[in-house]
Structure 1
Amino acid sequence: MTGTIDPVTDADLDAYVDDQLDVSRRIEVEAFLSARPEAAARVMSDLRMRDELRVALAGSGGMARPTTTDAARRLERGLARGRIFGVLQRAAAVAAFVAAGWLANGIVGPMSVTRVVASPQPPAYVDEAVRAHRTTLVRESMSSQAEAPNYNAGEIRAATAIVMPSLPNDWKVRDVQVYPSRFGPSVEMAVETKEMGLVSLFAIRPGTFDVVKPTVAPSGDISSAYFQIGEVAYAVVAQGEVRDLDRAAETLARTLY
């Protein structure tokens, strides 16, 4: 069997863990790992923690309890901080959080969440998504700016290490651009939708490892809903008050699991 021509990178290992590789590339990655026990052990640890996270986020009947979700997010962030004491740290954090929750619930009853706590400021990459969307609107108004509707998710992943979600069947790609940002290359995709009109799907690697469920950002002349899975963050952006952006974001997020 001939050697692997395309070298296996960290992005390929991340995509392997996230089930984002085709069969031939998975075989190449597995051949790479079979000759590197330390890398294989690290990937197996990531696979186990990924499955633990999915189970925790699924919760009972598909809805995660707040304590379970928080513990799962702590587990996911542990991947980026090293693995030497990861298991012990996660177990201690979960136990302490659950015990504190039970104690507080028994003393003062169920705790309520204030509106300030429940509505945090959106992350910085949402501003990047809004700026990219405004640029797309400018391009739309200029006949001299040719659209680039040819969309190749594999090429985008290879060039930027950004895994794009699968689009609904009735979404039509009108333009795809790679823009610079403070975080590195970002992908801005202009999509025509039946229910929401022209929307932008924005993707970027913000430099943090996290799991953020689809969340609607404060809207004015621009509406947006953002989410993050692992090292890649996404935002669905539209002009004006647009309903169902959060539902669209949830649909896109599900295709990444």
Structure 2
Amino acid sequence: MAVRTIFRDFAFSAGESLLPKSIRNRGVLLAMRRAASEWARDGYVLSYPKSGRTWLRTMLGSMVCSQYGLKIDNPMELQHFWKLSSDIPNIGFTHDDSPNLKFGHEVDKDKSRYRNKRVLLLTRDPRDVLVSYYFDAKNRMKVIDCDISTYIHREKGSIDAIVAFYNSWAEARFVPRDFLWVSYEDMHSDPRQVLLSTAGFFGLPAPDGTLLEETVEKASFRNMRKAELHDSFGHERLRPADPQNPESFKVRRGKVGGFVDYLSSEDIAYIDAYIDRNLHPFFACYFSKEKIAQSSQQQVGDSRNPLSVSTMVGGDRTELRASNDNYRRERLVRMAAAIALFASGWIANELDTEFAPPANAASLVSEAQEAYVASSVRAQMASQIESSDLDRGEILHATGVELPEIPEDWVVTDAQLYPSDLGNSVVLTMVTADDERVSLFAAEEDTSIGDSPSMDLNNGVAVAYWEDGQAALALVGELEAPRLLELATTLDRES
């Protein structure tokens, strides 16, 4: 067992019992916990939303459960499995700074946080991504309400954001210690080889033939669709917004090239031209057929990693690995940081003998809405004294809940402790600069909901929810879903 893994598991199990929440959730130690959470990751699976990450995650999680004898209902919780065995790598799953919530020029190009990590980048034809994300945003998250042509030309997260995200990784693919590019199209054509390559990339045992077949079949489109319909995983990541609307399913169609069924010839021409003009040639397989035909004999990529169009279209995918020039220096820096963290008794997660799954979005949304109703009633009662004094440090010290920074032009009208099933919780009632009344619910709770705001509708009321460090946050208000998501994103960026 690697020394780093032994140290990680010992430090993670020791610090939680040594340091009270009032200390470890403040100031320097809080910053150290967050830095150590990044340090503890062995690698990441990154993708733009709707690129097949749920499929790959389910295959990989199911395989690991079988290999290590884990009795876990939801294989998508793979990022927590390392707590059960030091032999399981600590793999994070992220959409990398939520490019789907941005215009292209806003997409982050700095990938230095992934230096000395293994990064698997999962991509999909931008046209299929565009269509799939449109239906997800309209029917599941309910954050847009326009036709698909309008979405393509005007909304955030459209073709310019997808291309900008791909370009950022084409330029930064040498930043991580190891880099593997896998495509959705690869998974369709040969899911067994993708699973084998992914397992080897992250240092997992290679599955035998029987396990490989069972894993691929369990995660097939048919079985994933059935699992979503019956809520087999008990998780919002695999639950339809409306079982009667096939376009509201997470596992919607799973078709390669399905965009042609939804886009007009004019929209396809516009997207093709945008991709041909702006997409980095590293992803030349996504150029239009016309441009691929013209470039089929030309070399694409850069001198360190030449790839031809013909190689990347229908041929074997080359495993792309790159050693970072700063690897040795970074190892020394990380080692020094690790010693400091060990000396402080830091921990980022509990290392329980039995796996306890984190809270899901459904419980957070429900609690947040109940708190919103309670705060609304309280505001109408003359006998209930509202407290607009907000001392974030005092709340953190007393409850362990770290609240985000509130924008200067927002007014806090009430700040109260709130008893919830999630433990210590706080509710803030606020009025935004545009005179909109919203309620922020915050609890100290380990979740699996992701660090960028997502949307849900509960009894007709929009709720935006996300996690920030050790806090689970939800913003509630009787506003249109896109506006509430915008406000939640503002709070997330303030913090």
TM-score normalised by the chain length of structure 1: 0.65
For 2:35 and 2:477, how far apart are their aligned partners in 1?
40
For 2:458 and 2:493, how far apart are their aligned partners in 1?
24
Contact 1:77 1:209 (8 Å CA) reproduced: no
Shift of the alpha carbon at 1:180? 0.6
Shift of the alpha carbon at 1:50? 7.0
Match of 2:437 among 198, 222, 234: 198
Counting only pairs closer than 5 Å after superposition, residues 104-253 of structure 1 correspond to structure 2 as 104-106=187-189, 114-117=247-250, 122-195=361-434, 197-208=436-447, 211-218=450-457, 220-239=459-478, 241=480, 243-253=482-492
Structure 2 unaligned residues grouped into runs of 5+ = 1-17, 58-75, 93-116, 123-179, 192-220, 222-245, 253-359
- Letter paired with 2:431: E
**Secondary structure, in 3 states, of the residue corresponding to 2:382?**
coil
- Letter paired with 2:187: A
User: Aligned pair in 2 of structure 1 residues 227, 10: CA closer, same or farther (>3 Å)?
Assistant: same
1:12-34 CA distance string (max 9 Å, x none): 44x4xxxx61xxxx3xx59xxxx
1:73-117 CA distance string (max 9 Å, x none): 9786467x2672343767999699965845225469xx9x95221
Contact 2:446 2:470 (8 Å CA) reproduced: yes
Counting only pairs closer than 5 Å after superposition, residues 44-59 of structure 1 correspond to structure 2 as 45-49=36-40
- Letter paired with 1:217: D
Shift of the alpha carbon at 1:161? 1.2
Structure 1 unaligned residues grouped into runs of 5+ = 1-6, 31-39
User: Aligned pair in 2 of structure 1 residues 45, 83: CA closer, same or farther (>3 Å)?
Assistant: farther
Shift of the alpha carbon at 1:182? 1.0
1:189-246 CA distance string (max 9 Å, x none): 0001133511101111344355242112115552221112343211111135465110
For 2:373 and 2:394, how far apart are their aligned partners in 1?
25
Match of 1:9 among 20, 23, 36: 20
TM-score normalised by the chain length of structure 2: 0.36
- Letter paired with 2:386: E
**Secondary structure, in 3 states, of the residue corresponding to 2:450?**
strand
2:203 counterpart of 1:103: no
Contact 2:34 2:469 (8 Å CA) reproduced: no
For 1:190 and 1:51, how far apart are their aligned partners in 2?
40
Shift of the alpha carbon at 1:143? 1.2
User: Aligned pair in 2 of structure 1 residues 103, 235: CA closer, same or farther (>3 Å)?
Assistant: same
User: Aligned pair in 2 of structure 1 residues 103, 12: CA closer, same or farther (>3 Å)?
Assistant: farther
User: Aligned pair in 2 of structure 1 residues 74, 251: CA closer, same or farther (>3 Å)?
Assistant: farther
**Secondary structure, in 3 states, of the residue corresponding to 1:245?**
helix
**Secondary structure, in 3 states, of the residue corresponding to 1:136?**
helix
> Which structure exhibits the higher relative contact order, with contacts defined as CA atoms closer than 8 Å and separated by 6 or more residues?
2
Larger Rg: 2
- Letter paired with 1:84: S
For 1:37, the equivalent position in structure 2 comes to none
Q: When the two structures are aligned, how many residues end up with a matched partner?
A: 217
For 2:240, the equivalent position in structure 1 comes to none
- Letter paired with 1:85: D
Counting only pairs closer than 5 Å after superposition, residues 57-76 of structure 1 correspond to structure 2 as 66=51
**Secondary structure, in 3 states, of the residue corresponding to 2:430?**
strand
For 1:187 and 1:199, how far apart are their aligned partners in 2?
14
For 2:494 and 2:251, how far apart are their aligned partners in 1?
26
For 2:459 and 2:380, how far apart are their aligned partners in 1?
21
| % identity of equivalent residues | 25
- Letter paired with 1:9: P
Counting only pairs closer than 5 Å after superposition, residues 16-55 of structure 1 correspond to structure 2 as 21=27, 26=28, 45-49=36-40
For 1:228 and 1:255, how far apart are their aligned partners in 2?
14
Contact 2:43 2:119 (8 Å CA) reproduced: no
Contact 1:77 1:210 (8 Å CA) reproduced: no
Bigger share in strand: 1
For 1:4, the equivalent position in structure 2 comes to none
Shift of the alpha carbon at 1:248? 1.0
For 1:67 and 1:9, how far apart are their aligned partners in 2?
40
For 2:394 and 2:85, how far apart are their aligned partners in 1?
31
